[in-house]
Amino acid sequence: MSPAFDVIVIGLGAIGSAAARELARRGARVLGIDRWAPPHAMGSTHGETRIIREIYFEDPLYVPLLQRAYTLWETLEAECGERLFTPCGGLMIGAPESALIRGTRESAARYGLPAQEFDARTLASRFPQFELPAHFVALLDPRAGYLDPERAVAAQLAGARAAGAAIHTDERVLSWARDGDGIRVTTERGRYHAAQVIIAAGAWTRALIAPTRALPLTGERQTLVWFDAGAARDRFAADRFPIWICEFEDGQAIYGFPDQPRGWKAAVHHAGGPIDDPDTIERAVTAADLARVRGGVARLFSWVAHAPVNEAAICSYTDTPDLHFLIDRLPEEPRVLVTSACSGHGFKFAGAIGELQAQLILGETPTFDPAPFRLARFGASAR
């Protein structure tokens, strides 16, 4: 019996919804399945804003992928008729020899991107909202801004449906296995048969792959806080305040956004503690969570030390050991493409990764070489 679907996509957050849309637009018979009803607050794709920036400090290899992502976000905005991206510029802040500043300079130099550099005194005159240590510098990425994650996922799913994809929500996947000339996916509601499968299930990816191999993925709990800027709120509007990331010399990294309807959002990066089981993650924000974020952010904005909290939420990262993405077929089951594990910096790439997944699944020549994101780099630890 021929498979009923060409592709089943398991997980419909940022990455899975983008893959479903790109595949369906290419004429593939697609079934997308999510345990909840995306956009939802159970995984990694929620919280009102996500940073997008072109001058990528993590590694210059991401810059071409980012440039493609910018184009695809514009395409999606035109398709859905909604604003998904707000440009406001972005500041990378730290000591001159910090990894953040060195990486930003390297990406800017390699691709000839404009990155205006400020010392602390000059930045204070341009953006007086920041309170930098005297020896810190800042690099301005003029193309940076933020995306609306909930609207973006909804738009990608709407595009997938419009192109003919079947989208099943509130349906938990229990297992998958080789079945004849395809893959059988079993859920709480039934069984489905597809020629190929994409697993983009975030923190649940490791459990879905476990019967086949042990992936070196770790979950990480992340706290997001929206502070009340009070009478100073206008100073943090998007037309006068950028997105920002700051790395301190003790390794702590913090980041934040212009003021939003829910408040002035900020967080501490990679500091929320491990997630042993995503089904039992503590979703209530604790006093310790708030204190960690407040204390970190107050290092750059002293008013935060006593600011009221409008709202706080928990989301999850799924990290690889080197914090680079994972996009690869399982060697022992090449009909299954495992993707994402975006390590806390992947949302901005969703459209470009969705396109890359579709190209790999359908045998097209990929726009970008996926070699840096393959399982082989983990060696025996991935077996």
pLDDT at 383: 45
> One of 21, 193, 345, 348 is an active-site residue; which one?
348
What is the per-residue pLDDT across 6-59, written as a single tens digit (0 to 9) for each? 999 999 999 999 999 999 999 999 999 999 999 999 999 999 999 999 999 999
Q: Across the chain, what does the average pLDDT equal?
A: 96
The rounded distance, in Å, linking the Cα atoms of 4 and 302 is 58
pLDDT at 227: 98
**In whole angstroms, what separates CA 45 from the centre of its chain?**
7
Q: What is the mean pLDDT of residues 128-142?
A: 98
Place of tokens 């005297």: 134
> One of 26, 161, 213, 269 is an active-site residue; which one?
269
> One of 35, 221, 265, 292 is an active-site residue; which one?
265
What is the per-residue pLDDT across 93-119, written as a single tens digit (0 to 9) for each? 999 999 999 999 999 999 999 999 999
Active site residue 315: yes
Q: What is the mean pLDDT of residues 279-285?
A: 95
pLDDT at 320 over 90: yes
> One of 46, 221, 292, 335 is an active-site residue; which one?
46
- Show Cβ contacts of residue 252 under 8 Å, excluding neighbours closer than 6 positions: 268, 271, 296, 299
Active site residue 46: yes
> One of 45, 49, 205, 320 is an active-site residue; which one?
49
Active site residue 269: yes
